Amino acid sequence: MSRHASPALPPGFKSYQLSFDWGRMHLVAGGRGMPLFMVHGLGGSCHDFLAIAPEMARSYTLLIPDLPGFGYSDKPDLPYGPAFFSQVMAQTAERLGLKSAHWLGHSMGGQTVFTLGLDRPEMVRSVVAVCPAGGQAGPNAWQRAVQSMLATDEGRFRLFCPCLVNLAIRMCYGDPSHPSRVELTRRVRAQWESPERPLLERSLIRSGRAILEQPVWPRLGQLQAPVLLVQGELDRVVAAVEVQRLYSHLPPGARWEVLPSGHMPVYSMAPELSAMVRGFLRGLA
């Protein structure tokens, strides 16, 4: 996936390149109505929301970035992680002249939009967190040992095999036979077998470490925006206990919904997820 290319987009959507002091960020935009940002997770890209984009665009102006270090955006030497991505998202909204927006985040993106809602509450009209990270108690000794075995301090994998991509994506799906899994596997493998792989390794490893080191649940009681928390019942990436910890620290009135999916309902249950999000946002009007 070349940072200079553009993805195939649904009708009515266009690709843009925004310039920042760190480089260029790729952004997909389309639709009409109130702005709704969609922020992808670890190793993801704007592709992760294209299945739900056409339906959501009927009522909202969708803004779907590739976070720095991922997708079609530049991948420089940066302090990747939810706290940094939150700052970039705030800068992006400001660059677009938006004082506030709705924010949807998947996995690490959920942790990112929670962080944004806490640090810049005036920018966040609502939060939709789909299979969100951020509910972990912090890295334990076992996780630190695994990180040390798998990755170097310089941000490279000690061992990499293309079959690991297949394994990781299979683990993310509650239904490994879903048609979208084949296309996702093909696209991700192509990116990881490209010359950008060293840059991807660095952004992925730094982001993964930051996810564990920056849990968001201790601060969630301060969140002012309405929240919809969506859990994948068969999620093998974000543990149910972590989702419970997030929800238990949210202010009263937050909604918690469960889909019979794995970690990727943005692909495997796109119509159901879209209907759930639209219902939640309509209820805020």
* Euclidean distance between CA atoms 219 and 242, whole angstroms: 14
Inside any domain, residue 5? no
State the average pLDDT for the chain: 92
Under DSSP, the state recorded for 251 is: P
Inside any domain, residue 2? no
Confidence of residue 51 (pLDDT cuts 50, 70, 90): very high
**Has this prediction a pTM greater than 0.85?**
yes
> How many C-beta neighbours within 10 Å does residue 115 have?
24
Confidence of residue 113 (pLDDT cuts 50, 70, 90): very high
Q: What is the pLDDT of residue 237?
A: 93
Residue 6 predicted with pLDDT over 80: no
Residue 122 predicted with pLDDT over 60: yes
Q: Are 96 and 176 in contact (CB under 8 A)?
A: no
- Any idea which residue has 């702005």 for tokens? 35
**For the chain, what is the domain count?**
1
Q: For strand 60-65 and strand 34-39, is the pairing parallel, antiparallel, or unpaired?
A: parallel
Inside any domain, residue 3? no
Higher model confidence: residue 63 or residue 139? Answer: 63
- Token code pair at residue 146: 């695994």
CA nearest neighbour of 117 among 126, 109, 108? 126
Inside any domain, residue 79? yes
CA nearest neighbour of 111 among 93, 90, 130? 130
Confidence of residue 163 (pLDDT cuts 50, 70, 90): confident
Query: What domain range includes position 248?
Result: 14-282
Write down the number of H helices and E strands in the chain. 10, 8
Strands (E), the chain: 14-20, 23-31, 34-39, 60-65, 101-106, 124-130, 227-232, 255-259
* Digit-coded pLDDT (tens) for 205-245: 999 999 999 999 999 999 999 999 999 999 999 999 999 99
Q: What is the pLDDT of residue 159?
A: 67
* Euclidean distance between CA atoms 247 and 250, whole angstroms: 5
* Digit-coded pLDDT (tens) for 166-176: 888 888 887 77
Residue 92, domain CATH: 3.40.50.1820
Inside any domain, residue 233? yes
Q: What is the pLDDT of residue 271?
A: 97
Instruction: Summarize the confidence of residues 166-191 as an average pLDDT.
Output: 86
Inside any domain, residue 8? no
- What kind and span of H or E run contains 86? helix 82-95
